[in-house]
Amino acid sequence: MLRNIKISLWIVLVGLTSLWVFANVPFPDTMSGKTIRGLFIQYSGVIGIGVMSIAMLLALRPVWLEPIFGGLDKSYRLHKWLGIIGFGAAIFHWVVTKAPYWLSSLGLIEGGHARGGGSHLKSNSLNQVQAFFDSLHGPSKIIGEWAFYGLVLLIILALIKRFPYRLFAKTHTLIAVVYLALVFHSVVLFNFTLWTKPLGIVMGFLLIVGVVSAILVLAQQVGKRRKVEGTIESQHYFSKMKVLETLILLKVGWKGHKSGQFAFVSFDKKEGQHPYTIASDWDENNPRIMFITKALGDYTNHLPEKLKVGDKAIVEGPYGCFTFTDDAKRQIWIGGGIGITPFISRMKYLFHNPKAQPIDLFHCTSEIEPDALTKLTADAAAANVNLHVIIDSRDGKLNGEKIRKLVPDWKSASVWFCGPIGFGKALHKDLLKNGLSTKSFHQELFSMR
């Protein structure tokens, strides 16, 4: 499904570029520096606010888009790419806008106070609406500039992996405020004559979608209808592996989930939500849901000591399309570390819903406790899954060659991978190079930032 993300990204960029070109042809016969600068300002503005509008829509976690992109994890990857592109376009827009002032202060050119964009040509026939927009040019430029500085700060914080997730989630929400300021800036300074052209119509639609999305984000409406309260019923901590198993009893409202899906869970309002893969199947007569978490950061490191039986939890979901649905003759599962979680969920499902499809599960880990191995072995046996436990220090790293050796008819299988991104890329490249179909490799991109 990464291919769908790339295609979607190119459709957005090529589509907006084509509309912008169509709106500006024929270009002036004489392309002065001022004219070129104006076109650059206009184009970077269109791309920047356009992709940010789509990114705002994706921030709502629209479930109806999951089948297109292959799950919310893939949608979030597109959201991230769009954000980075919008960030780059905003920087370019700012540099081109400021360039004459910088060059003038250095004495390299005269003036430097010419208006950028060249898109608001004065006319004696200005109607009242256009005149009103023109009167807002000054405030919109000031607001746009300060919004840009805010965007720079917030995007940089979002890209710093060591920045705590709870703070990332809170500061990232502020981008909705910055976006609304940039919408005001864009609407006021957009060439008024272009609103009736295809570019203006599309931009107007994107801005409306983006504004509504931003308001919903700020009103904390994201996923509200998919949230259910629950109570922690039991916990088991595997200290050597630093893995916590938490069972939650849910109240009425959970509509069920498929194996391989995930949910956003909040144990503490101050901390906020964190995404966790669901490690249990679903039985409406036994409304319990299990999460298996590993100490990988500032918050998960302290979960075992923070959570207690009887504590409340808010579970939002389910999300994701990593659901093992295909018609392949067999399946190969690869779980790296805590990436074993969706496969545990699927094995519990297969215990109650057996399938004839042969399955090989490779669990790659640096170490595994006897109790955890016993549970995993029992789940695999009950689900009729061939289990291969790969311990790095004992067996070395898993690679495509080992998989092909242990599963001779691997080309007839679909491969389902959940684990470290680099590990997944290496296996994907190796297996495709040796004949696996692109559509047969499924990878969970479990990274929400």
Please state, in angstroms and rounded to a whole number, the distance separating the CA atoms of residues 276 and 265. Answer: 7
Looking at the fold, whether 182 and 198 belong to one and the same domain comes out as yes
CA neighbor of 446 nearest in space, from 303, 296, 307:
296
Percent of the chain with pLDDT over 90: 74
Looking at the fold, whether 165 and 265 belong to one and the same domain comes out as no
In a domain, 324, yes or no: no
Range name among 130-139, 220-229, 352-361, 381-390 with the lowest pLDDT average: 130-139
Give the total number of structural domains in the chain: 3
Domain span at 387? 330-443
pLDDT band per the 50, 70, 90 thresholds, residue 116:
very low
Last residue of a domain, one of 218, 240, 271: 218
Q: What pLDDT sits at residue 135?
A: 84
pLDDT band per the 50, 70, 90 thresholds, residue 297:
confident
| Residues contacting 153, CB < 8 A, separation 6+ | none
Q: What pLDDT sits at residue 65?
A: 93
Please state, in angstroms and rounded to a whole number, the distance separating the CA atoms of residues 27 and 229. Answer: 59
**What are the tens digits of pLDDT across the range 339-373?**
999 999 999 999 999 998 999 999 999 989 999 99
Specify whether the CB–CB gap between 32 and 211 falls below 8 A: no
Range name among 100-109, 112-121, 230-239, 326-335 with the lowest pLDDT average: 112-121
| Residues contacting 106, CB < 8 A, separation 6+ | none
Dig out the tokens for 225 from the structure: 């209808």
Dig out the tokens for 242 from the structure: 């630093």
Looking at the fold, whether 185 and 166 belong to one and the same domain comes out as yes
What pTM, to 2 d.p., does this model score? 0.89
Looking at the fold, whether 11 and 102 belong to one and the same domain comes out as yes
Looking at the fold, whether 202 and 245 belong to one and the same domain comes out as no
pLDDT band per the 50, 70, 90 thresholds, residue 111:
low
Mean of the per-residue pLDDT values of the chain: 91
In a domain, 90, yes or no: yes
E strands, 393-446, are: 413-418, 441-443
CATH number for the domain that contains residue 102: 1.20.120
pLDDT at 122 over 90: no
Looking at the fold, whether 246 and 300 belong to one and the same domain comes out as yes
In a domain, 272, yes or no: yes
**What are the tens digits of pLDDT across the range 211-222?**
999 999 999 999
In a domain, 161, yes or no: yes
CATH number for the domain that contains residue 430: 3.40.50.80
Would you call 335 exposed, middle or buried from its count of C-beta atoms within 10 A (0-12, 13-18, 19+)? buried
pLDDT at 147 over 50: yes
**What are the tens digits of pLDDT across the range 423-432?**
999 999 999 9
In a domain, 198, yes or no: yes
**What are the tens digits of pLDDT across the range 38-60?**
999 999 999 999 999 999 999 99
